[in-house]
Amino acid sequence: MPATSRPTSKDVAQEAGVSQSTVSLVMGGKWTGRVSPATARSVHEAAERLGYRPNPAARNLRLGRTRTVLLMVPTLTAPFFGPVYTGAARVATSHGFGVVVSTWPDDGTSGEGPFAAPHDTIDGILASSLEAAWFEGEPLAGFAGTPAVLLDSGPYGDVPTVDFGVADGMRAVARHLAALGHRRFGHVAAGVDQYTFHARAQALEEVVRDVPGGALLREECEIDVGSAKEAASRLLARPDRPSVLVCDDDLVAAGAYKAARARGLAIPDELSVTGFDDVLLATALEPELTTVRLPAEELGARGMTALLELLGGTRPAPCSLPGRLIVRGSTAPPPHLP
């Protein structure tokens, strides 16, 4: 063997006097019960003498595995999804996997999905915050049979899921506001057909329904400061305007702040505002925003753990991660309203 060439498993087999398949078993850690300890020791010693190291790329090719996972998110601009990626990548890296990120196609389940041939490029998919269109027709057809775990997308058949306890989080918000004395609630709702926003709306309705004299007004908007400002302005222009604006997202709450400022309303003395997610923006607003903290990084980590279990042949159980109400300066008892 030339001095500059890299030793191969065939070289190790010849050095140890065993077959290449035996070398593969030993170097892959699968020799127990198939190869004697003495033979395994001989293979390791031969590999050490030759300076042999297994080729991960070749091994993955033989196994039909790319050791790459796709994380699909609605957008790459929202600050919420950065920590989701961080958590997923942390777990993936510790298991020798890489993570690539993509936004999901606008056409839902139509077309060829995230890749033309998913099995050739990725081992599995973490799909976050999917819209309802993905669940129509053939189950998750856009994934073309690639193993998948759903994040913050709600229950769906036997597909493994990791969700947030968004309904409990919204209930905590509404009960906090009711305890302060609020009775007229304005919901600045994300006009997105996703499980997470449907769950928030339903939970808010349930609590307000049980509040004596409670009333709920709703305006929808895009998850965008300008659109949220317009929706909040419509609520604040009503003769029976709400004393609090409950926003589905911290970015939406920023739009509500701008609407309040445009009408000369002081937060929280004349109007309370709440958000959801507790991204960095929540403490950049003045006053700082009362919101629900969702463990975004843990969502990514738990989702990746579940996907690795799925790839290993185990069906992971559904998981729900609780949110936590963070009370800050944007909420106070309501003023007297006409």
Is 133 a member of any domain? yes
What amino acid is encoded at 24 in this protein? Answer: S
Is 106 a member of any domain? yes
Write down the pLDDT at residue 156: 80
| Residue 247 shares a structural domain with residue 301 | no
| Residue 207 shares a structural domain with residue 289 | yes
> Nearest 5°: phi and psi at 108?
60, -125
| Residue 155 shares a structural domain with residue 301 | yes
| Residue 115 shares a structural domain with residue 95 | yes
Is 336 a member of any domain? no
| Residue 111 shares a structural domain with residue 156 | yes
Q: Would you give the DSSP letter of residue 3? A: T
| Residue 177 shares a structural domain with residue 290 | yes
Is 236 a member of any domain? yes
Distance CA 234, CA 147 (A): 44
| Residue 187 shares a structural domain with residue 285 | yes
| Residue 113 shares a structural domain with residue 175 | no
Distance CA 291, CA 325 (A): 6
Place of tokens 């606008």: 106
> What is the domain count for the chain?
3
Assign 188 to helix, strand or coil. Answer: strand
Is 192 a member of any domain? yes
Q: pLDDT tens, position by position, for the chain (338 residues)?
A: 444 567 787 888 888 998 877 877 777 666 666 778 888 888 888 888 888 876 554 454 444 467 889 998 988 888 889 999 999 999 999 888 899 998 876 544 444 445 444 455 788 889 998 877 666 655 555 566 688 899 998 888 778 899 999 999 999 999 999 999 999 999 999 998 889 999 999 999 999 999 999 999 999 999 999 999 999 999 999 999 999 999 999 999 999 999 999 999 999 999 999 999 999 999 999 999 999 999 999 999 999 999 999 888 888 888 999 999 999 999 999 987 54
| Residue 285 shares a structural domain with residue 172 | yes
Is 326 a member of any domain? no
| Residue 218 shares a structural domain with residue 122 | no
Strands (E), 211-253: 215-221, 244-247
Q: What is the CATH number of the domain that holds 282?
A: 3.40.50.2300
Is 182 a member of any domain? yes
Q: Which of these three, 276, 294, 312, is where a domain ends?
A: 294
195 closest CA partner among 164, 216, 158 = 164
Say which residues have a Cβ less than 8 Å from residue 243's Cβ, sequence separation at least 6: 182, 183, 184, 271, 272, 334, 335, 337
pLDDT by residue (tens digit) across 47-56?
A: 888 888 765 5
Q: Which domain holds residue 227?
A: 166-294
Q: Would you give the DSSP letter of residue 157? A: T
Q: What is the CATH number of the domain that holds 36?
A: 1.10.260.40
Write down the pLDDT at residue 74: 86
C-alpha to C-alpha distances, 279 to 87, 165, 275, nearest whole angstrom = 15, 17, 10
Write down the pLDDT at residue 200: 96
Write down the pLDDT at residue 315: 87
Question: Is there a cis peptide before residue 212, judged by omega within 30 degrees of 0?
Answer: no
Residue 273: its H or E element:
strand 272-274
pLDDT by residue (tens digit) across 110-168?
A: 444 454 444 557 888 899 988 776 666 555 555 666 888 999 988 887 788 999 999 99
Is 208 a member of any domain? yes
| Residue 170 shares a structural domain with residue 289 | yes
pTM score, whole prediction: 0.75
| Residue 185 shares a structural domain with residue 280 | yes
Say which residues have a Cβ less than 8 Å from residue 182's Cβ, sequence separation at least 6: 243, 244, 272, 333, 334
